[in-house]
Chains A and B, each alone.
Chain A
Amino acid sequence: MVPLSWYLAVSALLFTIGAVGVFIKRNAIAIFLCIELMLNAVNLTLVSLSGFFGDVGGQLFVFIVMTVAAAEAAVGLAIIISIFRNRESLNVDEVDTLKL
């Protein structure tokens, strides 16, 4: 059978990749995608621990995390749309002053 530590290792790898992506990427939407990747890595940890210890609370937490991720994606994309409308650019390096 697949040991628990392998699932946790995959989750940690995905989280690392997502975190590095937030550092490296310059496009606002790509940064957002890496944030979603980090959330999914944490979901994998929660589900694997829930399966190994037989507690349904982990999966419920995943349910709530997915809902929060959906809400955050909606609001975040709305903000990105309004920034794009004002500045015509999605490069986070250029969106660094309050003045246009």
Chain B
Amino acid sequence: MEKASIIIFFVFAAAAVLSALNILLQRNPLYSALSLIVTLLSLSALYLTLHAEFIAVIQIVVYAGAIMVLFIFVIMLLNVPAAQPQIEKQKGLRYLAIPFAGILIAETFYVVLSIGKRSMPSVPAGTEAQAVGTTWSIGTSLFTDYLLPFEVTSVLILMAVVGAMVLARREGD
């Protein structure tokens, strides 16, 4: 059972990291978007191993099913061409990226070595329907303790809808 959970973790973590690398390596933005979709699906599987079932399914419905569809529509409608080799204006950025990545990966190792081997606590029996991660727990917290962020988020979405409509309008519409 333990071996199975470790294997599942490695499979989906490897899928996530490899498809994330593929985003960088592809020249055609449509392939990058499709790689990001694979990353999102692998991350959703990782959320399921963390018992966060509501977030896992919501990630597929919202992120992979709506936001990425929007990206793909824009890429297809604008007919974005694949990147051509060309003269870059700011070569310095590319050379800056490597030490930056190096610093971040060093931080990763520091985190991994210092936290140690703390493992996932098990869900106490009998409270399965209301455990952390179920719809019930998120729903009750959202409408009691975290009501203010919820309301502010709805105003934010309203702003985004109005903003997107105004910005994408043609002149004279």
Contacts and interface: CB of A to CB of B under 8 A. Distances in A.
Interface residues of B, number: 85
Contact of B63 (A20, A48, A66): A66
Contacts of B29: 27, 29-30, 33
Contacts, number: 238
20 contacts: A1-B2, A2-B9, A4-B119, A10-B46, A13-B105, A17-B17, A24-B93, A25-B24, A29-B29, A29-B80, A50-B133, A52-B118, A52-B120, A56-B137, A57-B141, A63-B138, A74-B70, A78-B168, A82-B167, A93-B90
Interface of B: 2, 5-6, 9, 13, 16-17, 20-21, 23-24, 29, 32-33, 36, 39-40, 43, 46-47, 49-52, 54-55, 58-59, 62-63, 66-67, 70-71, 74-75, 78, 80, 83, 86, 88-90, 93-94, 96-97, 100-101, 104-105, 107-108, 111-113, 115-121, 132-133, 137-138, 141-142, 145-146, 149-150, 153, 156-157, 159-161, 163-165, 167-168, 170
